[in-house]
Amino acid sequence: MDATATTPNGDDAPPARVDLRAEFNEVGIGEVLDQLDRELIGLKPVKTRIREIAALLLVERLRKRMGLATGNPTLHMSFTGNPGTGKTTVALRIASILHKLGFVRRGHVVSVTRDELVGQYIGHTAPKTKEVLKKAMGGVLFIDEAYYLYRPENERDYGQEAIEILLQVMENQRDDLVVILAGYADRMEKFFQSNPGFRSRIAHHIDFPDYTDGELLTIAEGMLSEQNYHFAPEAKAAFERYIGIRKTQPLFANARSIRNALDRIRLRQANRLIADLDRSLSAEDLMTIEAGDVLASRVFGKEDGRDR
């Protein structure tokens, strides 16, 4: 990297040139982006957008050093998509990128819902909202299911007070706080229509697609591997069937539902193993998920007559 020039009066002048690769390596955002790739299966459009934002921030950092920047870019974001698609994980990595590049002081994430922001009686909301904002300053405030802040059908609802405080802080203290609003895409669109002040302050809208069946299977195998389990071949085929059926049922939450399913499968495996206390077990026995552990799920009830 070129050394900073010095003027005759001793003041540091902006560098004439910078070594882009050296700067990229120095701040360490490549490590964060690689971590995001490892942590999340699929989500190519999301990862592409995060890399684009990281590139913008790196360039802004260089512009500051050269005296070209006139202020921080607006960084508030909206994450839309169904549950279990990695929104919280991406928020954590975004916070790390912002911190490494000097756009937030601390790089932590404070995750809240309506309950942490809106009070139950007059005079309760402002202190709650301001306390959350105080904790989040210097980092990222992640508001999940943000549309629940706005309940126009209830005249006594205090969500509007929290919204007004948030809008003020998002505008006046955007150099010290990044707000991410998250939720279902259709509900977030209605929320923005009802609260245009939010839309005007959001610079980046990122949509999180549902995982494909193959991606969900890969996620499941990764989760099992982390805990030293694996599917037997027949169990893997059974779990592929499980995914196809479960995705059509209500309240499916992508990776979150897969994690819950694996917890129940491990429970059934454990009960199968201890059913015969006189047998000896190998490490392979303790690690292997068999087809029966999967097929005992109630998800298969209508398909093969079972309901357990």
Domains along the chain with CATH numbers: 71-208 (3.40.50.300), 213-304 (1.10.8.60)
> What helix, strand, coil percent values describe the chain, rounded to 5?
55, 10, 35
Report how far residue 94's alpha carbon sits from residue 79's, in angstroms, rounded to the nearest whole number: 12
Chain-centroid distance of CA 216 in Å reads 17
Residue 133 pLDDT class (50, 70, 90 cuts): very high
Q: Looking at 54-68, 233-247, 283-297, which range is the least confident one?
A: 54-68
For 198-214, the pLDDT digits (tens) are: 999 999 999 999 999 99
**DSSP assignment letter at 14:** P
Q: What is the pLDDT of residues 163-176, one digit of tens each?
A: 999 999 999 998 89
> 73-108: buried (b, 16+ CB within 10 Å) or exposed (e) per residue?
eebbbbbbbbbbbbbeebbbbbbbbbbbbebbeebb
The SS3 call for residue 117 is: helix
The whole-number pLDDT of residue 304 equals: 42
Nearest 5°: CA angle at 112, between 107 and 118?
130
Q: What is the pTM of this model?
A: 0.86
Contact 172, 133 (CB under 8 A): no
Rg of the chain over all Cα atoms, to the nearest angstrom: 24
Token pair 């499941």 is found at: 220
In tens, the pLDDT along 52-69 reads 999 999 998 888 888 887
Whether the pLDDT of residue 308 is over 60: the answer is no
